[in-house]
């Protein structure tokens, strides 16, 4: 049974239909399910909450039968029973001839699965690496196409789009780039761990993409140095979208507003994660705010 939560978000019961490795650090999982007929999103960086089962569970444990009380009920479940909750962005959706959603893609970062990486793999990375057709998940996502979990909103007068993203925000950044209107001037910086993680993007926009590869010598946060040395096209009304690790996001925002003089109202900055903290720890810090169907933290509050 599917239960509504605070509109315009609701739960969707889904299952894996196929998987695909995009590189050493990214895996794409495609989900289907009858509930998707009610899934709506016009956003290019649509945030989602995904609930995953523990090993040995047939499906994630979330007390959706409690309606609006699901959040408290979920928190009170034992640690080894309570579904793992992680925040993601929608990579793509596909619809039938009636405009109803039939499939969605979510790209997972596989931190900690590289030999010798020195990073401990988290439960979501382990789940995604082993995902197989038929595996069941629960998604908290949008039932209205225009919702508050969409952050990429360039003003109509935008004459230059500038984007920086690390690997956690690369799926959203790629979706944005591919959907930019033809001829739109755009300059993009994307950070990934390995050269094999670089993706080919198809777009009709006037786009220049710079991939920053960490194992090729571009260290974490290389985007700030690259952007400081970059000459951007002349623009009267630029729009900037920055997403990834909160510390890097805040530094880049200061660069654009303080050093380049971009109107702060035209800079969207979103912390997808915070170095040194798990998502559980971040959630504990925000417990008093209750459930957030738009899960990625705003760097304003980081």
Is-cis flag, bond preceding 92, omega within 30?
A: no
Alpha-helical segments (H) within 122-230: 123-130, 170-179, 222-228
Give residue-wise pLDDT tens across range 187-238.
999 999 999 999 999 999 999 999 999 887 666 667 788 888 899 999 999 9
pLDDT band at 173 (very low <50, low <70, confident <90, very high): very high
Q: C-alpha 247: how far from its chain's center?
A: 17
Kindly indicate the confidence band of residue 301, based on its pLDDT and cuts at 50, 70 and 90: very low
pTM over 0.85, yes/no:
yes
Sorted by where each starts, the structural domains of the chain and their CATH numbers stand as 9-144 (2.40.30.10), 160-273 (3.40.50.80)
pLDDT for 256 equals 96
Residue 192 · residue 214 · CB < 8 Å: yes
Nearby residues of 116 by Cβ (< 8 Å), 6 or more positions away: none
Averaged pLDDT score across all residues of the chain: 87
What pLDDT does residue 144 have?
94
Angle, CA 299 vertex, CA 42 and CA 195 arms, to 5°: 75
Alpha-helical segments (H) within the chain: 70-75, 123-130, 170-179, 222-228, 246-254, 279-285
101-131 pLDDT, tens per residue? Answer: 999 999 999 976 554 444 556 899 999 999 9
């Amino acid at each position: 049974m599917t239960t509504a939560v605070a509109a315009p978000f609701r739960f969707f019961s889904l299952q894996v239909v196929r998987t695909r490795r995009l590189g050493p650090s990214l895996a794409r999982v495609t989900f289907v399910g009858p509930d998707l007929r009610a899934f709506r999103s016009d956003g290019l960086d649509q945030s989602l909450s995904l609930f995953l089962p523990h090993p040995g569970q047939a499906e994630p444990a979330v007390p959706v039968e409690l309606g609006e009380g699901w959040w408290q009920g979920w928190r009170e479940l034992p640690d080894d029973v309570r579904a793992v909750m992680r925040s993601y962005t929608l990579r793509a959706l596909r619809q039938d001839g009636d405009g109803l959603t039939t499939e969605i893609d979510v790209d997972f970062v596989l931190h900690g699965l590289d030999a010798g990486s020195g990073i401990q793999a988290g439960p979501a990375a382990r789940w995604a690496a082993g995902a197989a057709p038929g595996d069941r998940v629960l998604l908290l996502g949008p039932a209205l196409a225009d919702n508050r979990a969409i952050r990429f909103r360039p003003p109509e007068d935008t004459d230059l789009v500038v984007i920086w993203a690390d690997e956690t925000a690369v799926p959203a950044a790629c979706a944005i780039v591919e959907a930019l209107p033809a001829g739109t001037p755009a300059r993009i910086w994307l950070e990934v761990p390995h050269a094999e993680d670089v993706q080919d993007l198809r777009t009709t926009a006037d786009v220049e993409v710079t991939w920053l590869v960490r194992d090729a010598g571009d260290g974490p946060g290389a985007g700030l140095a690259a952007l400081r040395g970059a000459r951007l096209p002349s623009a009267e009304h630029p729009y900037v979208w920055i997403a990834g690790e909160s510390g890097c996001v805040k530094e880049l925002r200061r660069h654009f507003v303080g050093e380049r003089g971009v109107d702060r109202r035209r800079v969207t900055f979103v912390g997808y994660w915070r170095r040194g903290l798990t998502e559980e720890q971040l959630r504990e810090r925000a417990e008093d705010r209750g459930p957030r169907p738009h899960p990625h933290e705003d760097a304003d509050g980081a």
